Amino acid sequence: MLWNITDKAYLNSVMTLYMSGIHIPLESIATFLQILASLYKIRLSEINQVKVEALLQYVSSPELGVLLLKGNNISVLTEHMFKHCFNLIELDLSDNEISNISALVFIGLTQLNVMRLQLNQLIQVKRTFQMLPTLKFIDLSRNLIHTLTYLNNLEVLKLGSNKLLTIDNAFKNCLPSLKNLQLVYNKLSTLTDGSFKSLSNLKSLSISDNQISEIERHAFTGLINLDQLLLSSNRITKKSIRDPTVFSGMPNLKHLDLFSLTSLEMFYADNSIPPEVFHPVPGLTKLSRLSVIQASENMLDVINQTLIKSLSRLRYLDMKRNTFICDCSNEIFIDWAMKSNYTQVIYLSRYTCSYPPSMRGMRFVNLNTESCIVSIDFIYFICTSVLAVFTLLASFIYHFLYWQMVYAYYLFLAFLHDNKKKQMHQQHGFQYDAFISYNAQDEPWVVQELLPNLESEQGWRLYLHYRDFEPGKPIIDNIIDGIYSSHKTICLITHSYLRSTWCSKEIQMANFRLFDEQKDVLILVFLEDIPTQQLSPYHQMRKLVKKMTCLRWPKAGEDIRLFWQKLRQALETKGHPEEENTILDVKDNQMCENQDVS
């Protein structure tokens, strides 16, 4: 394949180049690389060593910062291989066949921060990286390294899956900036005194899956900022930890992983372990042979049930002078410590509370744990009693207070609409003068008497069911809209009106508006004489009739002109109760006040 590029400026802005398994002549590739003046990242894979080294000589971009040479079968790094890559920040040489590296190879790479050399055949690391003053991260895992010396100011060092037998003095006088050290899957057998004493900034130390069988005194001295220590899958036993000060020097330790140390029988932790180490306790769940724990003068506050169950062979436990919390979180530990016939908690009677402040200094064993015990039978009793009372109350309300609850529901529904409607009417005024509440059986009177007199003669705008209800809208919403869009509500009371469910809802809505706005917006008109005994079942109606004066439709042969005059005057009022009562409080035979409504 031939790619002929006539305009070289076309590739000036290319910043990333991936080349894998190419079969293009070296001269053509060299010409191509010289055009890429802005190249920042190159990845070359499945290219033999001769071509890789030759290609790097033609890289003309001074901006090159990342060079990835993974999987090219490179076995030797020559001294001039990277002389044109002086601005490199990251170099990946993993998955090759490199067995030895001269320190002179990296001369000039003064900006290099990241180096990846995993999956090679390196045997030792001596002065290899002395010429890289800015190197922060190096991955040397999965090599054959057995000697480790002359490391510099790294922050991350990965040495997993090598053949390290000992770390000797590799970390005693160097690497003060190191934060992450991985030594997993090696052949370490002993951690000597002060092995990590210069690693004052180390945050994570992983020594899992080795053959560690001995940890000398003060092996972890100097790790003052260590947060995580992974020691799982080693050969640590009772003989491995002979000195109680083994774990001293790590005041900030939060995660201690001792998984799969099934032969460990004693664990010492004097003044070195904060409470987070045991919250939860993943590292101690496999310590089935542990018989002695000495963890005095620490900051342990809660010993949970998981820890207690995981230490099935524990014989002696010393946790004096810790910062115990005296509440129900330690109830299981106190009960176990006082009743266990197998485990002896040394100096239990001397343990004191540190929290809460009101109980500070109180003896730990004096904590009343009976209040922490919850009786299931009592809970069942309370639940069934509450259920029975609720059932009885619901039955009583349904049987005796059903209509009151329905009334309360519609009052609440009206309340939800009230503020919105009042704001709307304050801005736009009322669309109608009166909402007419009546039963369908009384519609002939409305059409023949009410409409001609109020609309045709007097010019009032009335809201009527059959004419003004909005089709497709819920009836209750139409009722509420009609009442709140009208200045007054006129209720035409008859026997059929009192029996109607929807008429009852209409007067309830109007009554709520009456109470809420404190204005006399309700006009009661009795079209029929209704004795008191027939009003008694309608509690709300009786209350309204007692509180306000109402109009009565004249009987046959009586003059109806005064009725229409009083109704017009009631519609003309602004809604103040004093003004309305003055108009309607007339002692004549057309007023319903002469009815016996008491």
- pLDDT tens column, 177-222: 899 999 999 999 998 888 888 888 999 999 999 999 888 888 888 8
CA–CA dist 450, 34 (Å, integer): 101
Q: Which residues contact 91 (CB under 8 A, 6 or more apart)?
A: 67, 69, 82, 109, 112, 114, 115, 116
Q: Supply the pLDDT for residue 67.
A: 92
Handedness of CA 358, 363, 366, 370 (dihedral sign): positive
265 versus 214: which is more confidently predicted? Answer: 214
How many Cβ atoms from other residues are within 10 Å of residue 348's Cβ? 17
The per-residue pLDDT for range 390-409, each reduced to its tens digit, is: 999 999 988 888 877 876 77
pLDDT in tens, 54-97: 778 777 677 889 999 998 888 888 888 888 888 899 999 999 99
123/143 Cα distance (integer angstroms): 7
Comparing CA positions, the residue from 34, 27, 28, 30 lying closest to residue 12 is: 34
3-state secondary structure (DSSP) of residue 23:
coil
pLDDT band at 425 (very low <50, low <70, confident <90, very high): low
Class of the 428-594 domain? Answer: alpha beta
At 583, is the pLDDT very low, low, confident or very high (cuts 50, 70, 90)?
A: very low
Which residues of the chain form CATH 3.80.10.10?
1-134
Q: How far is CA 412 from CA 142, 182, 491, 500, 513, in A?
A: 74, 68, 21, 21, 11
What is the CATH superfamily name and number for domain 1-134? Ribonuclease Inhibitor (3.80.10.10)
Tokens standing for 212?
């560690």
State yes or no: cis peptide before 280, omega within 30 of 0: yes
Kindly list the distances between the CA atom of residue 184 and the CA atoms of 213, 240, 258, 472, in Å, as whole numbers in the listed order.
Answer: 15, 19, 14, 75
Backbone angles phi, psi at 314, to 5 degrees: -65, 125
Q: Alpha-carbon distance 11 to 85, whole Å?
A: 20
**98-107, 231-240, 275-284, 325-334: which has the minimum mean pLDDT?**
275-284
Res 319: pLDDT: 82
Other residues' Cβ atoms within 10 Å of the Cβ of residue 108: 17
Q: Which residue has the higher pLDDT, 413 or 260?
A: 413
Torsion of CA 9, 13, 15, 18, to 10 degrees: -50
Mean pLDDT across 299-317: 79
Token readout for 508 is 């309830």
Note the pLDDT tens digit of each residue in 314-349: 888 888 888 888 888 888 888 888 888 888 888 888
Q: How does strand 214-215 pair with strand 190-191?
A: parallel
CA distance 11 to 40: 13
Q: What pLDDT, on the 0 to 100 scale, is given for residue 2?
A: 59
User: From CA 209, how far away is CA 259, in angstroms rounded?
Assistant: 10
> Does residue 584 carry a pLDDT above 50?
no
pLDDT at residue 593, rounded to an integer = 43
* pLDDT tens string 100-152: 888 888 888 889 999 999 999 998 887 778 788 899 999 999 999 887 765 66
Mean pLDDT of the chain: 79
346 near 321, Cβ under 8 Å? no
Give the model's confidence band at 596: pLDDT under 50 very low, under 70 low, under 90 confident, else very high.
Answer: very low
User: Within the chain, which residue ranges are assigned CATH 3.40.50.10140?
Assistant: 428-594
- What are phi and psi for residue 285, nearest 5 degrees? -70, -15
Beta strand pairing call for 228-230 and 266-268: unpaired
Residue-wise pLDDT for 445-500, tens only, equals: 999 999 999 988 888 999 998 898 989 888 888 888 888 888 889 999 898 888 88
* DSSP at 500: -
What is the C-alpha separation between 400 and 393, in angstroms, rounded?
11
Is the confidence at residue 11, as pLDDT, over 90? no
pLDDT value for 392: 93
Q: Which pLDDT score is estimated for 365?
A: 86
Q: What is the pLDDT of residues 345-382, one digit of tens each?
A: 888 888 999 888 888 888 888 888 777 776 678 788 89
Q: Tens digits of per-residue pLDDT, 569-581?
A: 888 876 554 444 4
